[in-house]
A and B are shown apart, each in its own frame.
Chain A
Amino acid sequence: MRDLIESALKGHNADYIEIRIEDTETTNISFRGRELDEIGHSAGKGGNVRVCVKGGWGFASFNDLDSIRSKVQQAISQARMVGNEKTELADVAPVVAIVPPHIISDPANVPLAEKHRIMEEYLDLLWGGPKIQTSSLRYADGHRRMFYGNSQGTYTEQSRIDVNFWASAITRNGGDIQQASISMGSLGDFGLVHRMQSEVAELPQKALDFLAAPQVQGGEYTVILDPVLAGVFVHEAFGHLSEADHVYENPKLREVMVLGRRFGGEHLNIVDGAKIPDLRGSFQYDEEGVEAQRTDLIHEGVLVGRLHSRETAAKMGETPSGNARAIGYQHPPIVRMTNTIIEPGEATLADLLEGVKEGVYCKNWYGGMTSMEQFTFSAGETYMIRDGRIAETVRPVMLSGNVFSTLENLDGVANDLEMNEGGGCGKGGQSPLPVSNGSPHIRLRKCLVGGA
């Protein structure tokens, strides 16, 4: 593969050329209710060429690997239609690296019959307890092998194995339908599917509790988030704003996001990095061949760094951070998060609860979105806090806020960091990208809660 890529890179007139070739293999099993709904084993092969000429980009993706040289020519002529400035890419020393995959327990070594049997055990857990209307249970594993070379002498071979697991219990009372769900993923560890029993077993009762639970009155509350939802919060409320591609060509936003700006109190520390090992967002080299880093984004409440591709780093005069990622060969790499973390503080959950007369405690996640200034994220479970104690269950809520005031209102960080490795991130039509996020319990004053 190296010969194919390196020979296709030679003899062209462009400022920068990169070629990526991938092959993928996926297995998925899904049940709806008690019945198997879908089982499949699929494969794929394809690649892309990305070219920069005078600051303009051309990109061509394909499945037919025989056409690779003509695709390089095509991408060059496309880039020429665009470029009329100077190509600026942050300097990176060329690397040649064959990276072994991160494997703890390889799903490829587990026969399909065994995967199927394990999922049937989870089905029994979902259906063996309190009476539910239906359920949804899914498993997927994927192996993606990536071969990358660029015209500056970098060549990498990397491989990643993703394992994903989802379960949901659905209850119903007339037209009222509720669900309780769990989503979990791992990088290279099939063992994940042996560790979900207690969480899955709790889902039916939770979904039944939601049916009986009232809706919270909408408005502003003191909100405490568990580590999983706080991870989603940091991803949505701050992570996306730290992606330099939103900022680098918008002069007003560059003023707002100037390094040194205070976002929160001294207890607030946020980092992102694929170099943090063994997580879903971990890797060795990004999709521009830049070595993974660990980037401090907020240190003691102050903005100190951001996430870059080679282009955004060059144009902002900052150091590349190894955050150019693509979900697959059909897409060009864009600036993405990897593993995003609020670092633990000193408090305990009890400290955060103390003195909260009426508030909302949210656990687990459903999803989240951001428009940079505003963000939303939704809880998998919600409870009222009354007189410093977690009290009755209410229907799961959606929370919303303004990033600038919300981080200022983040007034408590506990010491119990946990990582959330479920779900995936979507941006620019590329979803889901494997990321992780994590946090200890945190407390937000004056957080907007949607409700009745």
Chain B
Amino acid sequence: MLEEILAQALKQADQAEVYQVTSKSTPISFEANRLKSVDARDSTGVALRIIKDGRIGFSSTSDMSDMDGLVARAVEMLPFGAKASMEFSAESEYAAVPTFDQATADMKAEALVETGTKLIDQLHADWPDIVWSAGVSKSVSSTKLLNSRGCHAEEITSAIGIGMEGTLVKDTDMLFVWEGQSSCRPTLGTVAIIASIERKLHWAEQVAAAPTGQIPVIFTPGAVADLLLEPLLEGFNGRNIVQGSSPLIEKLGSLMVDPRITIWDDPTIPYIPGSGAFDGEGVSTNKLPLIQQGVIANFIYDLQTAGQAGTVSTGSAHRGLGSQPGPDTSVIVIAAGDTTFADMIAGYPKALVVESFLGAGQGNTLGGDFSANVLLGYAVENGVVVGRVKDTMIAGNVYNILKNLDALGSEMEWVEGSLRTPAISCTGVSISSKA
């Protein structure tokens, strides 16, 4: 069918590209310590991009009986379309990046229910005052991309994810703990999930005085994902490079942060959600260093922004069905340092450990600024966690604080499936709290 759409589109365009995604997911949800619903979500859709006389037309649909409409709408866009700074990809051979496991695909809803029930039952038994909710979800999706330059890319991915949240209410004091994992394979570390939740609850048992003044801030791997990643990565995005709205323009090759910091985008890691052999335009993916020993190494581009910047795509096009591709990162890895998390905490007379945030990414992050309420964080006194802090906000600039890196953790953790990072401690973060 995609070949027919391509043929029909080429009657009215110089180049054409069709992109189809079909997915089946099974989300199971638990609320108030028990199973609440079993869902099955099937979706399919096709997006068409065409180029004619140097302009781009686009349309998409989830109505598989309306392929004539799809082509007609894309053609209708042409007179107004963006100026094409690219040709579609001509690749059709890709290195293998495994992202599908038949055992995940074969998992029945009953098995997902059982996994969630076991976790909830154990947590509920250990912490009866806490109300637990959870989501366990499995999905299989297949992607197919064809274009008039001979690109033919097909991929099937499987994924399983689990997220647990506990809510502890003591009058108007509320504590939220969350932990989650995801993978392409059906091997989730439920033991690690429970251990992490137990550590959080243990540290949050007491409420500690909100810290004041200039003290070091320790970002757990979850906090790196939640607060620092977006303002950091935005500066590498080809769209912001082309528009001049990145603080990193003209900084390629410059030392911008502490030389212990090395970060790469690596969609070639097997069985990680976010990995894949090709990007949303059929361009091969690669392990791409973004920061090497503190030096800005690469920016990320899709075909169009690469064309505008006079360079080549880094295989970083991401897309949904409803809109055209744009550059984005896939699987971010931050290299480990040499300080264990325990030593990091033990080394400070006073520090703030931050775990999760409210309002992260809510302000202007283009220049690397961040600001958020500390949803879960703890005060450290004389090298020991003494309790949870409340009514505390932190703010700063991600480039400045990574210049003031104090210690880099030695233990790497996967967070939210597509980030692998150690804990990071920095100075130069402003802390504001209620009097």
**Chain A residues proximal to chain B, CB less than 8 Å:** 23, 26, 28-29, 32-33, 35-46, 56-64, 74-75, 78-79, 81-82, 112-113, 116, 133-134, 170, 172, 174-179, 218-220, 249-250, 252-253, 256, 330, 332, 366-378, 396-398, 400-402, 404, 446, 448-452
Contact = CB atoms under 8 A, between A and B. Distances in A.
Contacts of B393: 218, 398, 400, 448-450
B374 to A, nearest CB: 9
Interface in B68-104: 69-70, 73-74, 76-77, 79-83
A40 B391 CA distance: 44
A208 B239 CA distance: 21
Contacts of A58: 37-39
B interface residue count range (under 10 / 10 to 19 / 20 to 34 / 35 or more): 35 or more
Given A253-B169, A366-B364, A404-B172, A38 B324 contact: yes
Given A60-B41, A400-B359, A172 B35 contact: no
Interface in B372-387: 372-373, 375
B367 A46 contact: no
B432 A175 contact: no
A218 B73 contact: no
Given A170-B245, A218-B432, A46 B371 contact: no
Interface string B317-360: 00000111000000000000000000000000000000000110
Contacts of B372: 376, 398, 450
A186 B342 CA distance: 53
B252 interface: no
A61 B42 CA distance: 6
B36 interface: yes
Given A56-B37, A175-B247, A450-B393, A43 B373 contact: no
Interface stretch (B57-65, B119-127, B197-205, B418-426): B57-65
Contacts of A178: 364, 366-367
A249 B131 CA distance: 9
B64 A63 contact: yes
A396 B363 contact: yes
A330 B41 contact: yes
B217 interface: no
B66 to A, nearest CB: 6
Main secondary structure of the interface of A (DSSP, over half): strand
Nearest to B359: A376
A445 B349 CA distance: 34
Nearest to B113: A81
Nearest to B325: A38
A40 B58 contact: yes
B173 interface: yes
A448 B323 contact: no
B4 interface: no
A116 B77 CA distance: 11
Contact of B131 (A35, A82, A250): A250
Contact of A42 (B35, B41, B59, B79): B59
B167 interface: yes
A371 B375 contact: yes
A37 B31 CA distance: 42
B244 A134 contact: yes
A32 B368 CA distance: 20
A38 B324 CA distance: 7
Contacts of B39: 58-61, 78, 332
A307 to B, nearest CB: 17
Nearest to A115: B80
Contacts of A28: 323
B435 interface: yes
Contacts of B364: 177-179, 366, 396
Contacts of B255: none
21 contacts: A36-B80, A39-B58, A40-B59, A60-B39, A60-B40, A63-B43, A78-B38, A82-B35, A113-B79, A170-B243, A170-B366, A175-B399, A250-B169, A373-B172, A376-B372, A398-B371, A402-B390, A402-B391, A450-B371, A450-B373, A452-B395
Contacts of B433: 448
Interface of B: 31-32, 35-45, 57-64, 66, 69-70, 73-74, 76-77, 79-83, 109-110, 113, 131, 167, 169-174, 176, 239, 242-247, 322-324, 358-359, 362-364, 366-368, 371-373, 375, 390-391, 393-395, 399, 430-435
Contact of B362 (A41, A59, A366, A401): A366
Contacts of B70: 43
B80 A113 contact: yes
A371 B176 CA distance: 8
B358 A56 contact: no
B434 A448 contact: yes
B30 to A, nearest CB: 10
A178 B394 CA distance: 19
A112 B72 CA distance: 14
A57 B31 CA distance: 12
Given A82-B38, A373-B172, A400-B373, A42 B322 contact: yes
A369 B359 contact: yes
B170 A252 contact: yes
B324 A40 contact: yes
A398 B430 contact: no
B359 A249 contact: no
Contacts of A134: 243-245
A63 B399 CA distance: 45
B80 A39 contact: yes
Given A58-B37, A81-B38, A133-B243, A38 B58 contact: yes
Sort A-B residue pairs by CB-CB distance and give the 6 closest, nearest first: A218-B432, A376-B359, A249-B32, A57-B37, A175-B247, A177-B367
B82 A451 contact: no
A81 B43 contact: no
A225 to B, nearest CB: 16
Contacts of A176: 247, 367
Nearest to A365: B362
A249 B31 contact: yes
A47 to B, nearest CB: 11
Contacts of B110: 81
A252 B245 CA distance: 48
B366 A177 contact: yes
Contacts of B244: 133-134, 172
B172 A78 contact: no
A61 B41 contact: yes
Contacts of B80: 29, 36, 39, 112-113, 116
B243 A33 contact: yes
A35 B82 contact: yes
A131 B191 CA distance: 56
B362 A376 contact: yes
B373 A374 contact: yes
Contacts of A41: 59, 73-74, 76-77
Contacts of B323: 28, 38, 40
Contacts of A374: 174, 358, 373, 375, 390-391
Contact of A78 (B79, B109, B242, B375): B109
B358 A375 contact: yes
B97 to A, nearest CB: 27
Nearest to B110: A81
B432 to A, nearest CB: 3
B427 to A, nearest CB: 14
A23 B246 CA distance: 39
Given A36-B82, A374-B375, A256 B172 contact: yes
Nearest to A217: B432
Contact of B64 (A64, A256, A446): A64
